[in-house]
Amino acid sequence: MSETYLCTGQLPDHYQQLVKSVADFATSVVAPVAAKHYAEHTFPYEVVAGMGQMGLFGLPFPEDCGGMGGDYFALCLALEELAKVDQSTAITLEAGVSLGAMPVFRFGTEEQKQRWLPELTAGRAIAGFGLTEPGAGSDAGATATTARLDGGEWVIDGAKQFITNSGTDITSLVTVTAVTGKRDGGRKEISTILVPAGTPGFTVESAYDKVGWNSSDTHPLTFDGVRVPEANLLGERGRGYANFLRILDEGRIAIAALATGAAQGCVDESVKYARERVTFGRPIADNQAIAFQIARMEARAHTARAAYYDAAALMLSGKPFKKAAAIAKLVASEAAMDNARDATQIHGGYGFMNDYPVARHYRDSKILEIGEGTTQVQLMLIAREAGL
């Protein structure tokens, strides 16, 4: 990917073909079942299987890992198209790749990669990342879950919460951050450990009753004397927190792409509704107040897209991208929330009905300002990168 695409607005053919194929899938496969899964709080296994068959879970991974040989920007383009129609589906893919498979790819041993990645990149299995705890959210350094070595095994005790893709029938493992000792000066040594699903003592608690993302799988997890082999350490001991920050930096670009899709989906639905809805003998699109409101929505989506394109271009070129990723996440998540509010208002009473996509976007979009780094965290990162 070249940064010149940002200036020309032209993507190479292989990216354009990907966008078209995912958009067609979103329209023909995701959209018809999204409302039903959302209302019933059910995980869309048939949709996930379809995404797996398309290779979407393997987009940014090399072919020798079972991937498609693409890049992270390709994943972002797919997420944008899916999120226009259904955020629950998009976050299932985003978390499955950036939080599930990516840590294994980035930091795993060859044995770990060979064991886990083929199924994860094919979408036949998904994985979660257990970072957040009841007392450790934005302050991940407050991690209380512990892991100690005993007879060649890690013994894990603790709890995690808000963990995506952690309790489905195809969940294969969860990567867990845990305190494995202390550094000089008394600071916590935090490492990451792979815990396969079904390991004795590893309990997936009942799913959350959430405001939105109803067909995305999210659970609290508990670990009571969970034993896994010492070889399940992911990456270097004591580098768990640092490695996770790298994963989060990348993931913010993906979340920004998802949020951009949500923002654009609100625009598209509002344009359609404004053309069709007739009041006082004419379409409401003829009202300048409505037209200007939609114009502002379009401007927000455009700005969000430019921001995540820029962050992705920096990342793929090997340049520092932390600030750009934080800006993209900040701008895109706020665009999604603002556009969802405006789209609901444009739809009037229909916007309050869950049968309409804008109602789901209104319920779904708030978490985009919280998950994978709150708005306040993004502002803190941007300020630091600016030298403050």
Per-residue pLDDT of 322-359, as tens digits, reads: 999 999 999 999 999 999 999 999 999 999 998 899 99
Q: Are residues 269 and 217 in the same domain?
A: no
7 vs 72, higher pLDDT? 72
In tens, the pLDDT along 69-81 reads 999 999 999 999 9
Ramachandran assignment for 32, one of left (phi > 0), alpha (psi -120 to 50 degrees), beta (any other): alpha
Tell me the percentage of the chain whose pLDDT exceeds 70. 97
Q: Domain holding 339: CATH number? A: 1.20.140.10
- Domains: count for the chain: 3
Q: Are residues 373 and 248 in the same domain?
A: yes
Can you tell me the mean pLDDT for 216-233?
98
Predicted pLDDT at 231: 97
Predicted pLDDT at 355: 83
Are 153 and 201 within 8 A, CB to CB? no
Last residue of a domain, one of 97, 126, 155: 126
Q: Report how far residue 70's alpha carbon sits from residue 331's, in angstroms, rounded to the nearest whole number.
A: 26
Residue 74 to residues 17, 68, 94, 330, Cα–Cα distance (Å): 11, 10, 12, 21
Domain that holds residue 276: 242-385
Can you tell me the mean pLDDT for 159-178?
97
Last residue of a domain, one of 204, 238, 272: 238
Q: Domain holding 141: CATH number? A: 2.40.110.10
* Backbone phi and psi for residue 379, each to the nearest 5 degrees, phi listed first: -60, -40
Q: Are residues 66 and 121 in the same domain?
A: yes
Q: Are residues 68 and 142 in the same domain?
A: no
pLDDT > 80? residue 20? yes
Strands 153-164 and 171-182: unpaired
Catalytic residue set = 372
In tens, the pLDDT along 243-280 reads 988 898 999 999 999 999 999 999 999 999 999 999 99
Q: Are residues 256 and 375 in the same domain?
A: yes
Tell me the percentage of the chain whose pLDDT exceeds 90. 89
Last residue of a domain, one of 238, 260, 289: 238
DSSP type of residue 22: H
Q: Are residues 263 and 362 in the same domain?
A: yes
Q: Are residues 248 and 381 in the same domain?
A: yes
Q: Are residues 261 and 312 in the same domain?
A: yes
Q: Are residues 24 and 72 in the same domain?
A: yes
Q: Are residues 315 and 223 in the same domain?
A: no
Predicted pLDDT at 4: 47
Q: Are residues 204 and 300 in the same domain?
A: no
Can you tell me the mean pLDDT for 39-55?
97
In tens, the pLDDT along 299-326 reads 999 999 999 999 999 999 999 999 999 9
DSSP calls for 340-367 = HHHHHHHHGGGGGSTTSHHHHHHHHGGG
Q: Report how far residue 124's alpha carbon sits from residue 119's, in angstroms, rounded to the nearest whole number.
A: 5
Strands 153-164 and 218-229: antiparallel
Predicted pLDDT at 5: 54
Q: Domain holding 21: CATH number? A: 1.10.540.10
**Can you give the pTM of this predicted structure?**
0.94
What are the residues facing 305 on neighbouring strands? none
Q: Report how far residue 340's alpha carbon sits from residue 224's, in angstroms, rounded to the nearest whole number.
A: 41
Predicted pLDDT at 186: 77
Can you tell me the mean pLDDT for 277-290?
95
Predicted pLDDT at 93: 98
Can you tell me the mean pLDDT for 358-365?
96
Predicted pLDDT at 9: 58
Confidence of residue 6 (pLDDT cuts 50, 70, 90): low
Can you tell me the mean pLDDT for 219-225?
98
Q: Are residues 22 and 95 in the same domain?
A: yes
Predicted pLDDT at 357: 94
The chain-wide mean pLDDT, for the chain, equals: 94
Q: Report how far residue 139's alpha carbon sits from residue 181's, in angstroms, rounded to the nearest whole number.
A: 18
Predicted pLDDT at 2: 46
